[in-house]
Homo-oligomer: A and B are copies of this chain.
Amino acid sequence: MTETRNGDEAEPRPAEARAKSFQAVREAHRNELAEDYVELIAELISQFGEARPVDIAARMGVTAPTVAKTLDRLAREGLVARAPYRSVFLTPEGAALAEACLRRHEIVVRFLVRLGLDPETAEKDAEGIEHHVSERTLELLRDFADQT
């Protein structure tokens, strides 16, 4: 029958629009790790003057080889620069991405706290939510957070 519906009932939501939503989520997930890494690397550099794989690993909650493999990928993508046994640097492109991600992250956290969430949970939820917030939504979150 191939999803025949009688004509007068309201179309719940077109299949293609649905598909676009899921595709957007998958797209966000493809960028997610890169975003979290560059954001963290920027923070480590500003905090300690350098970003070492061991510190990245501790904060990401993964093992050193996982970090190594991911950093190789980010280097391939032009977001970080590295040399064997040295700490990691951001390319200009990576630094720009980090900056944008940091801003977005902070808006989401501020919003959640303003909503009434404790800061610890706000940080936790924000870490996932941030990657799925459209430009328009981010504006709305910022406006809400900035309310007097």
Please report A residues at the B interface, Cβ cutoff 8 Å.
Answer: 2-3, 5, 12-13, 15-25, 28-29, 36, 43, 47-48, 54-55, 58-62, 112, 115-118, 120-121, 123-125, 127-129, 131-134, 136-137, 140-141, 144
Contacts and interface: CB of A to CB of B under 8 A. Distances in A.
Given A25-B128, A121-B137, 17 more contacts: A2-B54, A3-B55, A13-B123, A16-B58, A17-B123, A19-B59, A24-B128, A28-B128, A115-B140, A115-B141, A117-B136, A121-B136, A124-B134, A125-B133, A127-B132, A128-B131, A129-B132
Top 4 A-B residue pairs of the complex, sorted by shortest distance between their CB atoms: A128-B132, A19-B61, A18-B59, A15-B58
Contacts of A117: 136-137, 140
Contact of A129 (B2, B36, B115, B133): B133
Task: Provide the main secondary structure of the chain A interface.
Answer: helix
Given A15-B55, A55-B3, A23 B61 contact: yes
A21 B123 contact: yes
Contacts of A134: 121, 124-125
Given A18-B61, A59-B19, A61-B22, A115 B144 contact: yes
Nearest to A4: B48
Contacts of A133: 125, 129
